[in-house]
Chains A and B, each alone.
Chain A
Amino acid sequence: MTYRLFGTSTTRRSVLAGGAAATGMLAAPGILHAAGKTVKVGVVHPVTGFLQFSGTQCRYGAQAAIEEINASGGIKALDGAMIEAVLGDAQSKAEIGASEVEKFESEGVSAIVGAYSSGISLATTQAAAKYGIPHIVDVGVNDKIVGRDLDNTFRFGPGFGVITKTGIQSLIDLNEAAGNPAKTCVIVHENTTPFGSYMAGLMKDGLEPAGFEVLEILPHPTPNKDFRNIALKIKELNPDVVIPSHYYNEGVLFLRTLQRQRVSPKVIYSVLGGASSQYRFVNEFEDAAQGVMDCNHWFDPSNKAALALKDKTEADGKTYSYEVFLAYTAMKFLADGMERAASPDRKAIIDALAVSEWDGHFMPYGPTKMENGQNMAAVPLVTQVSGEDINVIAPAEYAQAKAKFG
């Protein structure tokens, strides 16, 4: 008997042969799993919900690192074991992030990388600590993440304290170098997560002793659909510096609203500004982005590996953002830890990460120096948008351009 499917002649024998082949293919993953060694890593981010953009960016960065590690022969100390990502979605909620850790435990992961926001990372690291799973925090900057004596928790990038301290000092230094054009400021921050409120308090405490007058602190929720009121308040207060700190979507809307309302302070200086040092924002809204400074996670601009990842990210249709290179680096840091541990055992990995001196990365940190899970060598850089470029303006050893005040 002959069947005809979409114009192709098909015999009963070929259908049976195809069925057998399909059955074989379905069975194949199990065989491959048994034949090739893999080491499982939980990758948890908020890929749905209000943080979905950043979460998706993080996931991309982590997967890019895994792809690269596997392509170069996997974890050599584990006989070339491939890293197998077990993906989790925190749905922008801390409790869901914690429940994803339970899933990772049942999957038998050797380690976890995640979970973008501070709120979710606090929950996932705590949940992972129950099972002794090493957890590398990729982006979450709240200092409490590594301040709870959890042996399993590591953060390769800088935390709030260091970022804000650097942000304050850099603003003071840049202002001084420019002849002190800025004397007053307004701080605008998101207050739905611990991130924004904590930062605003640190900024106020740091800037006032340095002679800045903080005219007002303006918090807002996330998500936020309208910044006109805040723009009007800033217009009335007429500060020299506006210091915003929020996630990407609000960052874009805020800066566009300032432009729409003709609010133009001498400088917009973000600390962890969601959009202020994002290529995507600069590409889409070049006018609104002009001159915006940002103290944030940034790569060594002269490092070829960082620029290669940028090219790959853009070739994949993604934007090269801090989420991508931080999650990428966190995964690489973990892979190096596995090499040093020479074991997929969780405790062995934790011990290796705790004394890691890894320097094979493209961040401006130098050799890794872990203290209570925090990489003490990690620092942010200050950037400023100029045309279509984002240039590093501080510190001097990484600076590509001089700071410009309006």
Chain B
Amino acid sequence: MDFLGLPSYSWETVLGSAISGVFLGSVYALVALGLTLIYGVLHIINFAHGAMLMLAMYAVFFLWSALGIDPYLALLIVVPAGFVFGYALQRGVIGRFSHGRDEITLLVTLGIAIMIENGALFAFSATERQVQVPYDFDGIDFGVTFAVWPEIAALAGSLVVTLALWLFMTRTDMGHAIQAVAKERRGAELVGIDVEHIYGVTFGIGAACVAVAACLLAPTYAVSPQFGYLFVLIAFTVVVLGGMGSFVGALVGGFLIGITEQLGRLYLGESLGLITISAIFILVLLFRPTGLFGQASG
């Protein structure tokens, strides 16, 4: 019998949906990790994040289609390229034109997003492009749902990237310098830290995270100039939910949103189910405004 008018499903379907939520959540986490780093340290709301993801997806696609490079092998090329692109973008465009003012920074990243998207439309056309890998339909049968290798790789990738970022930020001099700039820019300058360089490195790492996400998403999702929009709005939600600048928060937030979304879609339907994301977001903001793992400023 239906409860509160909701449809009833077997436990296998519910569990399968929750597990698929974990996999979907790992995708959100992957996209959100770079975003939270850029926001948490630079306090830049990077509207170009989705466009950068799309650009990295195209890079993965063309490496595969032109040179036959597997998307996971492409990590070796796309991630360093992403870092260089991000560093150059911050030092050459965002830092130079924003003059340290948040509202200008926001508009600059929005402008970059528009330029990248329209450039992609002009250069690559509207046609969706899909990487095809021989292991696309192989994977692990959980009984209640089937997870293919690209989904498992995305899940593993989100865990590895989170751990790597955490280790980098807490165990390396560069990580300490980034934290110092994030907490007290003026003080960091006074002790001799090259703040502009740190800004560039941080944005570069954020862009490299986007590149990792692109390599891990490419076997599952087709890319088009509009691709970034599919994930980036939810990634912003994940960042706020997990706590600005928190990697663990981005990971947990991603899983939470993924599972909530899937169960919401299961019981409320594919369209209405999406409101569960907003509901959980509002609840967290009401009871924990700094996010799940965020720290109050000041």
Contacts and interface: CB of A to CB of B under 8 A. Distances in A.
Nearest to B127: A53
Interface string A218-245: 1111011110111011011000000000
A264 to B, nearest CB: 12
A229 B265 contact: yes
A219 B128 contact: no
A229 B126 contact: no
B137 interface: yes
Contacts of A52: 121, 126, 224-226
A81 B148 CA distance: 57
Interface size class of B (residues with CB under 8 A): 35 or more
Given A191-B271, A220-B271, A232 B20 contact: yes
B231 A225 contact: yes
A130 interface: no
A261 interface: yes
B128 A229 contact: no
Interface string B113-156: 00000000100011110101000110101001110100000000
Given A52-B225, A249-B128, A232 B230 contact: no
A67 interface: no
A50 interface: yes
B189 interface: no
Interface size class of A (residues with CB under 8 A): 35 or more
B125 A56 contact: yes
B43 to A, nearest CB: 29
Contacts of B146: 260-262
Contacts of B125: 56
B10 A228 contact: no
A225 B137 contact: no
B13 interface: yes
Interface string B240-265: 00000000000000000000001001
B270 interface: yes
Contacts of B121: 48, 52
Nearest to A92: B226
A284 B130 contact: yes
Given A224-B270, A228-B24, A229-B270, 5 more contacts: A52-B226, A218-B270, A232-B17, A252-B222, A284-B132
Interface of A: 47-50, 52-53, 55-56, 191, 218-221, 223-226, 228-230, 232-233, 235-236, 248-249, 252-253, 259-262, 284-285, 287
30 contacts: A52-B224, A52-B225, A53-B126, A53-B127, A53-B128, A53-B224, A56-B126, A56-B127, A191-B271, A219-B269, A219-B271, A220-B270, A226-B24, A228-B20, A228-B23, A228-B24, A228-B145, A229-B20, A229-B266, A229-B270, A230-B270, A232-B16, A236-B9, A249-B222, A252-B128, A252-B130, A252-B222, A253-B222, A260-B146, A261-B146
